Structure 1
C-alpha cells in the first residue's frame, strides 16, 4: 500500500507542478471570471465607447416627425438623398432612412449604411412598422386604443399536469446546468484520459517501466496513476468551481448578468450532485480504458493514435447527450442511457431535463459500476502484460500478446 501512495503522490505532484497545468488552470480561471461578469464588462466598454448612434431621416410629414421621435438618435435631414449618403460614408451618421409613399398610400423605407451589421437597421425597421400600422389604422378609422389591443401580445401560459413535473423556468435552468456539466465531463475525460495514456507510454519509452515493475506490481502502478490523475482533475476542477463561485458572488447583484439570465444564481443542487456522481464514474471508466490502451504502445506518438477509438466513444456519448437535451424520451436516447460507455453523459442528461424513474437510475448505475469493475479486471491483466511489450503490431495482436504475457507472470 505504501508503494501505491508513493506512485500516486509522484504522479500528482509532477502534474500539478507542470507548466501546462499551471497555464491551463490560470487561463481557464480568467475565462470563468470574465464570463461570470461579462455583462458588467460589456456595460463598461459601452459607456467608454462612442456616443449615441445617429440616423438621418428623409421623409414627408407627419411620418418624419413620428420617426424622429421613435428612433434613437433619429434626426431629420434637410439636404438631398445623395448628400445624406455621402454623410453616412464619412461617418457623420450611422445610417440613412429614406421613406417614400407606396402604391397603397402607406410608407415604404430604404435604409442605407456604410456596411452591414448584425442588427442591419432592426430598430429603424420596427419604428417604421409602427408608423405604417398607425397610418393604416387611421385610414380604416380604427382608434389608437383598438390598435393597441390588437397589437398587444396574447396571454399564453403552459402548465404541466404530471405530478412533480418541472416548471418551464426549472427546466430552462436545468438545461443550462446540464449543458455546462456535459462540457466539463467531456473535456475532463478527453484531457485526463490522454494524460493517463501518455504517462504510461512515456515511462515505457524511457524504460523506466522496467525498473518500476521489479519493485511494484503493474496493477498497483495502473490504479495509482489513475487515482493520481483523478486527484489532479479534482484539484483543477475545484479551482474552477471556486473561481465560478467568486464570479457568481461578484456578479449576482448585477441586473441582467449572465448568471441571472442563465438562472444559475439559485442552482439545482440535485442535478449538480448527479453530475458529480456520473462524472466520477465516467472518469474511472474511461481512465481505466486509457491506461490499458496506453500500456499497449511504447512510443508517445502512438499513444494519441491508440486512444482514438476511446475518443470516438466519448464524442458519440457527448452528441447523444446534446440530442437528449431536447428529446430526453426518444427511444434511441433511452437505449443509449443504459450502454455503460454512454451512461455518464446520456443518463445524466435524461435525469436533468426529463423524468426518470428510480429503477432506471439504479439499473444504469449498476451496469456502469459493473462495467468499471469488469474493465478494471481485464484492464489490469492487459496492463500487466502490456507494460512489458515494445512491439508495434496491430491493436488486436497487442491485446492478445499482453494477455499471454500476463499469464506467464
Structure 2
C-alpha cells in the first residue's frame, strides 16, 4: 500500500510542479478575472470627453427639434447638430472626424418621418440602433397626433404588455433560478469537456512515456499494474481538482465582488442552492473517473507518445457528442431524447446535470442516473484494470483497439 501512495503522490507532485501546470493555472485564472471585470476594463478605454457628434440635415423642415428630443430621451452618448451643408461637404467633415456620420431626415409619401444615416462605416450598431429608436418614437408620436389621441392614451399605447410565467409543478424553478442554473450548467459542461480532454490525455501520455522509456518494467517489479493505474488516476484527479478549486475560487470572488447594477452582479451566484453545487462536484468527479479509467487503459496499449492522440480519438469524440447533446438539452430539457441519453454513462455527467438543474425531476431518476454512472465506473474499472495489466507489457507498434484482446490474454498469464 505504501507503493500505491508513493505513486499517487508522485503523480500529483510532479505534475503540480511542472511549468505547463503553473502556466495553465495562472493563464486561466487571469482570463477568469478579466472576463469577470470586462465592464470595468471597457470603461477605462471609453473616452468620456469625446463626444460622438451626428450632423442632421432636415430636408423637409420641422423634424429636427422633435427628433432631437426623442434621441435625448434614449441616450446621452450622441450629440446631434443641425446643418445645411451639402452631402459632399458632410462627407469631408466625416472623413476629417468632425462628425461620426450624418443623418438625412425626410418625410415619406404618407407624410411620416424617415431617415438615412451615412458614416465611414456602420459597424457601431449602438449608434444606428439609437437613431432608429428615436425615429420610431417620433413616428409613433405623429401617428398618435393624427389619430387625436390624448397623452394618457399614448402612454397606454406605448406601455409594455404585462406577461408573467408561473410553473405549476411543485418545486419547479423560477426564472431567476433557471438563469442561475443555466450559468452553472454552462460552467460544468465546459469544465468537464476541457478537463476530460486535458487530464485524460495527461494520464494516457504519462503511461505511454513510462512504457517508451522502459520505466514501466521497473515499476511492474515493485508495484502491481492495477495499483499503478488507480494511483495515477487518483493522483492526476487530485491535481485537476486542485486546479478547478483555484479557478472556481477566483471566479466566485470575482463575480461576487462586482458593483451593484453590473451585468455580472445581476447573475446572483450567492443565492445558488448548495445542493446544485454538490451535484455539480459529484458529477464532475464521477465523470472524471469514468473517462480517466478508459484513458488509462487506452494509454497502456501504446508504446509511443505520438500514438496517444490516435488512440484517444474515440474518447474525445464521446465527450464532444455528450457536450453537444447537453447544449441542445439547455433549450429543451424535457425532450425524451435528453431523458434517454442522461442514462447513457458516457453522457450522464453532463446531461443528467442539465436535467437536475433545469427541471424538478423525481429523486428516483437522480438515483438511477448516479447508479448507472457508478456501475459503469466499476465495470470499466474492472475491465480497465485487466487491460492495463496486460497492456503495459505490450511493446512495439500497438495503437489499435484490437490490441485490447491481446492485452486481456496477457493479463491472464500474469
Superposition pairs for residues 233-272 of structure 1, below 5 Å?
A: 233-251=240-258, 254-272=259-277
1:332 to 329, 337, 355: 337
Superposition pairs for residues 170-181 of structure 1, below 5 Å?
A: 170-181=177-188
Partner of 2:120: 114
Q: How far 1:138 moved relative to its partner?
A: 1.7
Q: How far 1:136 moved relative to its partner?
A: 2.0
- Contact kept in structure 2, 1:385 and 1:405, CA below 8 Å: yes
1:74 is paired with a residue of what secondary structure?
strand
Which is further off, 54-63 or 4-13?
Answer: 54-63
Question: Hey, what's the Cα distance between the residues in 2 that align with 1:195 and 1:354?
Answer: 35
Question: Considering only aligned residues, what root-mean-square deviation do their CA atoms show, in Å?
Answer: 1.5
1:8 aligns with 2:8: yes
Q: Which runs of 4 or more aligned residues in structure 1 lie more than 3 Å from their structure 2 counterparts after TM superposition? A: none
2:162 is paired with a residue of what secondary structure?
coil
Question: Hey, what's the Cα distance between the residues in 2 that align with 1:18 and 1:50?
Answer: 48
- Contact kept in structure 1, 2:301 and 2:391, CA below 8 Å: yes
Structure 1 gap ranges (5+): none
Q: How far 1:329 moved relative to its partner?
A: 1.3
Partner of 1:37: 37
1:112 is paired with a residue of what secondary structure?
strand
- Contact kept in structure 2, 1:174 and 1:353, CA below 8 Å: yes
Question: Hey, what's the Cα distance between the residues in 1 that align with 2:237 and 2:314?
Answer: 21
Question: Hey, what's the Cα distance between the residues in 2 that align with 1:88 and 1:261?
Answer: 39
Q: How far 1:30 moved relative to its partner?
A: 0.7
Superposition pairs for residues 4-403 of structure 1, below 5 Å?
A: 4-46=4-46, 48=47, 51-59=50-58, 60-71=60-71, 72-119=78-125, 121-251=128-258, 254-393=259-398, 395-403=400-408
Alignment CA distance shift 1:185-1:11 (3 Å)? same
TM-score normalised to structure 2 length? 0.95
Question: Hey, what's the Cα distance between the residues in 1 that align with 2:322 and 2:409?
Answer: 32
Count how many residue pairs are aligned between Structure 1 and Structure 2: 406
- Contact kept in structure 1, 2:286 and 2:349, CA below 8 Å: yes
1:54 is paired with a residue of what secondary structure?
strand
Question: Hey, what's the Cα distance between the residues in 2 that align with 1:238 and 1:258?
Answer: 24
Question: Hey, what's the Cα distance between the residues in 1 that align with 2:395 and 2:372?
Answer: 34
Q: How far 1:50 moved relative to its partner?
A: 5.8
Which is further off, 138-147 or 282-291?
Answer: 138-147
TM-score normalised to structure 1 length? 0.96
Question: Hey, what's the Cα distance between the residues in 1 that align with 2:143 and 2:290?
Answer: 67
1:109 is paired with a residue of what secondary structure?
strand
Question: Hey, what's the Cα distance between the residues in 2 that align with 1:244 and 1:219?
Answer: 37
Deviations 1:88-119, CA, capped at 9 Å, x for gaps: 22211112110112111112211101112141
